[in-house]
Every structure is written in C-alpha cells, then in structure tokens.
A and B are shown apart, each in its own frame.
Chain A
C-alpha cells in the first residue's frame, strides 16, 4: 500500500516533467501534440550518446556519483540533452507545426503530430537499433526505508524525484519572478491581449518549445535511468502524460505538475484492485473520471 504510493510518486515526477511542456504547448498552440512524448525519447538517446562521448573524452567522468548509478558524464549529458532536445522541438515546429499552423486548421496539427511522432520513433529505431539500452548495467539495490510496512526505494529514483522537483522549482521561480515569466503567463492567459501589450508571440512560442523540450529531455533521461532506454519509450509514456495534462487542466502548469503525480499514484495503486493486465488502461480511466467529475481538470479554465 505505502510502497505503491511511494512508487507512484517516484514515477509521477517523470510524468510531471513531460506534462508541463505538453500543457503549455497544447494551451498556447491549441492542439493535442501526439509527438510531445517523442521528445522524451530524443532526450534519452541524446544523453546516451553524450554520456558515451564524455566518458570517452575524460574517463574519470565515468565514475558513479555516490550511491547512484548516475555518472558525472551522464549528469553533464543531461544538460546537453536538454539543450539539444529543446532545439529539436523548435526545429520540428519550424519545419512542420508552424507551417501547418500558417495553412489554417489547428486540428490538422493534431494529425501532423501523429505523423511527426511516427517519423521520430522509427528514425530512432533505425539509428540506435530496436533493442534495450541502459545507461548503466549495474543494478543498484534499493534501500529499505522501513521494514514494517515494507518500504523500498532505489537511490536513482530519489535522485530523479529530487532533480525533477528542483527543475520544477526553478521553473516556478522563473514564471513568478521574471518579466519573461510574466509574459509567458500573459500569453498563456490571453494571446491576443498579450500581443497588444507588446509581447512577441513568436518569441514566446519558441521559448515554450525550448522549455517543453528541455523538460521532456530531463524526463526521458530520468526514465532511462530508472527503467531503460528504447525507441518506443515515448509511445509508452504518451497516454500517461496526456492523462496528467487533462487531470491538471490543459494550460495549467502547476496542474500538470500535480497531475503527473496523481496519475503516477493512481496507476500504481490501481494494481491493488485490478489485475495487472489492465494497467495500460489506467490512464484512460483516469481521463474518463476527470471528464465526468471535473471536465476542466483540477486547475483548468473553461475555454472554447
């Protein structure tokens, strides 16, 4: 029981990071981006490459940090990966989404994102192979936090949670303390009015992709660190991330963060009631419940 709750929180932090970027893009550009989760894959593979590069360049970077399986090289790689993934997100927007947007039909964007997701996923499979990859093959044993009730936690997971929270706090400070955060929120509230007030919408869109991509990359690496890296990890995380976004309410950044944790917890707790075979359906059930009880999500506002 407690174990499932804690596990849910730990998994949830990854979903939160993914959902924050998704909710921003969905709100501002008004389309359900089915390719957002692929940014997690790009991030994970990017870190895999640079982890290798850094270790090759300067071997001591390959040492693990404390009780983690995380190496210094990989922690540097995370930063690089966040930048590159943010860049890829902009590139995808420039190449595809902005053009489709310009042609009209915001709903065409939804389908364009289907296509983009398919291309990214299979390109990754082609480049890196379809097999499972790991940042580190060592198995780090879980620490026993409590014997009764039994509560086990892996150091890597604690790190992922802490790092995710850290990133979220920084992001929060940025939103609430900087001009740039104000502009971002203004755009999110009302794009037209924001433009009238002299905010450059295009700049803001670029920014949202950088932030969304960066957060997704971090989520992807944390996922890889606590699970594994494979070309379909984005597809596997797509529905849970969407669920987190809807639970939080589309457009609400804090809602998305909280939504991630809620979806993580609910998915883990579900096993107490449902046979495990049904777990992929959990995110959908969560979406359904939210739509019935509170269609705008926890923090969302009604908007046509």
Chain B
C-alpha cells in the first residue's frame, strides 16, 4: 500500500511539475498545436502519454517550435478504435493539428491513418504500432508518406534475441508471446531465427490478455524442459507467467524483449531470480548524449525509464517537433512529413535528444543544414515506408534498474540477419 501511495504522490507531483513548465516558461503568444491519441486509461499507456507531454515541455523550455509555444492536446484512445478515430478526427478538424502522435495499438493507428490522417494530409507518428500491415500500406503508396513509427520492426529484436541464445550456447528454448499483433509477429520471427541457428524450439505458447490464470500455458511451455525461455510479453502477464514459471522449477535462463524492461516486472518477480535474464532492445547511440534520455527521464520521473514504448514515445514526439521546426511556421502535415528525412539525415549535424540538442538543431536548420537526430532509441533512420531501423543493445536487470550488457551496431545486426537467411 505504501508503495502504491508513494507512486501516486510521485506521479501527481510530476504532473503538477509539468503543468508548471507548460505555463510559466514561455513568453510567445502563439501556439502550435499538436495532437496525441494515446491509451491513457491503460496501465502501460499512461507513461507513454506522460513522456510525450514531457518532451513538449522540454521543447517549450528551449523556446518552442517555429517561434511558437507547442501545445499538446492529449486524447484518450481507450484502446477502442472507434473512440481513437473520433478523437483523431476531432483533433484534426476542430483543433487543426498537423501532427498526430499515436496511437499505440496497430488496431487503433490503422483506422486513424486510413480514415483520418491520410485523407486530411496530416502527419501521423506512432511510437509503438508494430503491425506489418503498415509497411504493406506504405508500399502501395496509400500512406502518402505521412506515416512514421519509431518502433523498430520486430525483426531486429527477434534477431538479437536469437543471437543471445546462440552466444549463451542454449540448445533448446521455449517461447511465450503476447497474443496480439506485436507478439504474434515477434513470436513467429524468433522461432524462425532459432531454427535457422539450429536451436530447438521446444514449444511456442501464446498468452492472452486478460486471462485468469497462465498456469496451463506455463505447464505447456515447461513440457519440453527447455534450457532457456524467450518472452515477448508485457509486464502484467509477464509477471504472472514468470512467477508461475519459476515456482514450477523453470529455468532462470531467460531472454526477453524490451517490453519487459520494466521496474514493475523486476520488483514483482524479484531481482534474485533475474540474474540470468538478458533483454534485447533497440539501442541508444554511442555518443556523449548516450545516457541523455535516461538521465533526464530519471531526473524528471524519479526512476529510470522502464516499460514498453517510453523511449519510442520520446523519439516520436521529438522527431515530429524537429520536423515541424524544419518545416517552419504554418506548414501543413505533408510539408512537415517531408521534413522528417531532413532531421534524421545521417550526413547531417548530429544533435542530442534533449533541449540543448533541439536548440542546436534550430540553428542548423535555420542555416539551411540538415540534422541527424540521436534519439533515445538510437540513430533513428526511416526508410521509404516510414519504418525505422536502429542498432540494438542487450541489457539485464540491476539494483538501480537496468544495465546495458552489449551494443550491437546497425551493420552487425544487418549482417547477422543476412547470415541467418
């Protein structure tokens, strides 16, 4: 209970602090509205929204965008496509936003894209939608170049997960994945990768959201007595499944996707059981600002960023605002979208993912140069379909939160993926 109360107090304090930021720092009397449709009413959605708001506050501190203060209009999607689409439509039509952040679930982002943002020419940037359907849509030209996501395609994470298993010389692995679009995708990918590396997959078990007990599923996964366990789960079912797994004598050799990079998960399972856990994630760049996001986040929220999608949300907001800056005052969504490549240009001037970096980017852009944004998820680089590729990192849990284990550069990731084919 105490912990609960503390967290609530903390959250309220933070939010109060943010509101303070939002109102006091700025002197300009014009505002650039941007919209966000995020599932604030869901446990893991709330921090994603708070992160986006935090970026906006940072930018306002740094003088705003295109000479104006930025205002984030946040709408709850309730993970309900109807509600999300309506919210997006209201943001576009009533608030006149040219940038829409969101949504999280592909099932909400997709109808927003097809029925709101693409027809209206508004740029949409999602932190976390992973469905491969977007790539297909983009290839057909139906996203009109307005669609971006900072969530690296699951292929990288799956490949790195397989790489970990190979390096640890695991002979057999069981897979547990969340039964949603992301989980189904990554579950299938990693099963293929394991097989390509000659690692036996003893079982691949889907875990449904909101199920009373995962006991049967865990028993099923334990059956082949695997040497290691791979998990693409969210903290809620991950906690339940791993506690069950451990208590039934399952191995502590675990490989997990970034969705379990969560303190809630670590605390509820117990650090002592997680010593052999290796996580995968897309990486921070190897630069001075490597820990910029982590440090700032820790300072702001009192704990290291953990939980799915936070750094993706940070980057999504940051890149969107950089593009807005590059496009100049009064630019429409199409113009802003076309500027994304200019702020994630690998031959441009590198800028860090903080207020100082944003100020620097402003100067460079004002001088007609291009910028290479060094994001919280890595040297973000979009391809023609709005998909991002990034270097990877492996991590483990520590007393303070998480610690980085190894860094795998983009070229290493690419050549490893190629070697499995």
Contact = CB atoms under 8 A, between A and B. Distances in A.
A141 B244 CA distance: 9
B215 A268 contact: yes
Interface of chain B, main secondary structure: helix
B418 interface: no
Given A7-B215, A236-B211, A139 B179 contact: no
A279 B216 contact: yes
A276 B216 contact: yes
B164 interface: no
Contacts of B214: 227
A35 B42 CA distance: 21
Contact of A130 (B2, B43, B219, B267): B43
A11 interface: yes
A14 to B, nearest CB: 8
B420 to A, nearest CB: 25
B243 A139 contact: yes
B402 interface: no
B264 A139 contact: no
Contacts of A227: 212-214, 240
Contact of B207 (A142, A226, A240, A276): A276
A235 B209 CA distance: 12
Interface in A200-252: 223, 226-228, 230, 232-233, 235-237, 240
Contact of A277 (B179, B267, B268, B269): B179
B248 A139 contact: no
Contact of B270 (A10, A133, A138, A154): A138
Given A131-B43, A132-B239, A276 B205 contact: yes
Contacts of A141: 246-247, 249
Interface residues of A, number: 45
B1 A48 contact: yes
Contacts of A52: 1-2
A129 B216 contact: no
Interface in B211-267: 211-217, 219-220, 235-236, 239-240, 243, 246-249, 264, 267
B407 interface: no
B120 interface: no
A137 interface: yes
Contacts of A277: 179, 206, 208
B382 interface: no
Contacts of B264: 131-132
A285 B220 CA distance: 21
B210 interface: yes
Given A7-B216, A268-B219, 6 more contacts: A4-B216, A129-B43, A144-B249, A227-B214, A275-B206, A277-B179
11 contacts: A7-B215, A7-B219, A129-B4, A130-B43, A139-B243, A152-B249, A226-B213, A230-B236, A271-B219, A271-B220, A280-B211
